[in-house]
Structure 1
Amino acid sequence: MDWPLVIAFGLGVGLLVGMTGIGGGSLMTPLLILVLGTAPTTAIGTDLAYAAVTKTVGGWRHWRRGSVDMTIALWLAVGSIPGALGGVQVLHVLEKALGGDSFDTFLLTLVAGALFVTGIAVLARALFMSSGGERVTIEDFDTRHKVAAVIVGVGVGFVLGLTSAGSGALIAVALIMIFRLTPIRVVGTDVFHAALLLWVASIAHFFSGNVDLALAGNILIGSIPGVWIGSNLAFKMPENALRPTLGIVLLAAGMALLKKAGVADYPVYVIFLVPAAVAVAAYFLNRSRSRRGAQASAHLATNDPATEH
């Protein structure tokens, strides 16, 4: 095992988690499978174990700096914790039912699907979601908000328990679309909730024999300082500076896993070409959208009676 490389992976992913709240499971699992050759179930369990510690450090830092909406985080956990336990149990049942190469192929395909969904969610969040109407917290957190948080939590928790991917990005999208939180509160609440969820999921995977403690420990050597630094940088970095790139990386990782599983047979360059094409298309679409928005704002300002003398 190339331990310096493992530590470097931990440092890089830890930085991303601290700055954006996403990328922990979505990036580390494919790295363990594709680069280090780790068995899929072990990669998922080990990923969850290191991520639980990493996001606890990040969550604590964000909580200390006041960027966590504790009410939303706890209601999300009400749904996500049982959802994650259900996902781990389904994974165990599928492993017994399929076994061997069939199970590995199925699991790689499943993780690839989760990466595609997560990558698209990250791109949508970074490029297309309006920041209008954002708020630091919800003053009147009523039954509707509680039900929405629990439902989102169940779905995301189940996906996490099954694949280790998606908890950060999918929860972040919900925090923006449903609860309309400001960017820094999205990151803080996302990381804090993920820490609660990941401990439960990782313990369940540990008792299922899916965690390589030595591997997780070496990842943590890099990820703990990474998430510490990233959590501080989150308050200084430009909004959405890294998310589009991260979304493209997730799409490429999903395509690489499909090729490894044998589900899709395409040249290696396609793994880079398709996400790059998506990036270019998204860039020009967002640029066109921004230009139309600026023109509309200028038109309104021109016709505003308050601007006339």
Structure 2
Amino acid sequence: MEFGYVISGFAVGLLVGVTGVGGGSLMTPLLVFLFGFKATVAVGTDLLYAAITKTGGVFVHHNTHKSVDWRVVGWMATGSLPSAVITIFVIKHLIQIEKDISGIITHTLGVALILTAVALIIRSYLTRKKMREIEDTIISSGRFDKIQIPATIFTGIILGALVTISSVGAGVLGTLALLFLYPKMSTLKVVGTDLAHAIPLTAVAGFGHWTLGHVNFELLGTLLIGSLPGIWVGSHLSVKIPEKTLRLILATLLLVIGLKFVLV
């Protein structure tokens, strides 16, 4: 079974390396349906898994591409981190009153996967529709629309709760929100900024689930053994495989899995 975890980690890592999405969206359902883990353990383990695997990507985006807008990261985190902490306390309270949270997490996970599938298709359309500008003069000069900052914080609040409950949404939903909120921000900077925000969010949410006993560290280590090489290989293959086809397949898969979770 441990070999199966390594292979699964490699497969998900490979897909993430090629398409840039699919980590939490695929890993959590995989752990639930293929390996039979409880939804709570799958979510908690996947959150820490995401925090670790995405850290390397941020180093590349920040040091090599200079494609992280840390002010936007800060505004999103202002909403998402407190939201994640509050959500953990709500989950803890539900456990204390002996409320079955597995059903809540499973249903939320299904909804998050469906939203992610739709967001993936919309994001692909937005990024293909026209070449986004290399740099946003409004952002680079420090001038922001009055609605952008509160809207970014509010987006963080929604993402914080959704990601903490389901482990899904920090990637595709986050980038989709940034594409709408900052239409002149380059795609590379959108990806880098969302990736940078996802790390503290998944780390805080993952730590919260750890305190609730929802993290399997043996599983986490085994998944990482497979996923880290998978991401490296996928990153090199990304220029050779048609991304449009892969993202359509991924969106369809997420939609089917999401409906299965919702209808269970």
Q: TM-score, normalised by structure 2?
A: 0.86
The answer to whether residue 84 in structure 2 is matched with residue 84 in structure 1 is yes
Counterpart CA distance in 1 for 2:69 and 2:82 is 21
- Residue of structure 2 in register with 1:163 after alignment: 166
Structure 1 regions of 5+ residues with no counterpart? 262-309
| Structure 2 counterpart SS, 1:242 | helix
Number of aligned residue pairs:
257
Q: Which has the higher contact order (CA 8 A, sep 6+)?
A: 2
- Give the direction of change, closer, same or farther, for the CA distance of 1:184–1:242 in structure 2 (3 Å limit): farther
What do residues 181-211 of structure 1 show as CA deviations (whole Å, max 9, x unaligned)? 3332222222222112111111111111110
- Give the direction of change, closer, same or farther, for the CA distance of 1:237–1:186 in structure 2 (3 Å limit): farther
- The one-letter code of the counterpart of 2:87 is G
- The one-letter code of the counterpart of 1:171 is G
After the TM superposition, which residues 127-138 of structure 1 pair with which residues of structure 2 at under 5 Å, given as runs?
A: 127=125, 130-131=129-130, 134-137=133-136, 138=139
The answer to whether residue 44 in structure 2 is matched with residue 45 in structure 1 is yes
- The one-letter code of the counterpart of 1:168 is G
Counterpart CA distance in 1 for 2:181 and 2:242 is 23
Counterpart CA distance in 2 for 1:123 and 1:96 is 40
| Structure 1 counterpart SS, 2:68 | coil
The answer to whether residue 189 in structure 2 is matched with residue 190 in structure 1 is no
Shift of 1:116: 0.8
- The one-letter code of the counterpart of 1:69 is D
Shift of 1:232: 5.5
The answer to whether residue 11 in structure 2 is matched with residue 12 in structure 1 is yes
- Residue of structure 1 in register with 2:110 after alignment: 112
- Give the aligned CA root-mean-square deviation in angstroms: 2.4
Structure 2 regions of 5+ residues with no counterpart? none
Aligned 8 A contact 1:113 1:254 in 2: yes
Counterpart CA distance in 2 for 1:96 and 1:42 is 17
What do residues 106-140 of structure 1 show as CA deviations (whole Å, max 9, x unaligned)? 32122111111111111121235633654434223
- Residue of structure 2 in register with 1:26 after alignment: 25
Q: TM-score, normalised by structure 1?
A: 0.75
What do residues 196-233 of structure 1 show as CA deviations (whole Å, max 9, x unaligned)? 21111111111111100000111111122233444566
More displaced, 53-62 or 129-138? 129-138
Aligned 8 A contact 2:119 2:173 in 1: yes
- Give the direction of change, closer, same or farther, for the CA distance of 1:185–1:173 in structure 2 (3 Å limit): same
Counterpart CA distance in 1 for 2:122 and 2:243 is 14
What do residues 22-44 of structure 1 show as CA deviations (whole Å, max 9, x unaligned)? 22211111100000000111111
After the TM superposition, which residues 153-232 of structure 1 pair with which residues of structure 2 at under 5 Å, given as runs?
A: 153-180=156-183, 181-231=185-235
- Residue of structure 2 in register with 1:147 after alignment: 150
- Residue of structure 2 in register with 1:299 after alignment: none
Aligned 8 A contact 1:183 1:239 in 2: no
Between the aligned residues of both structures, percent identity stands at 37
The answer to whether residue 54 in structure 2 is matched with residue 55 in structure 1 is yes
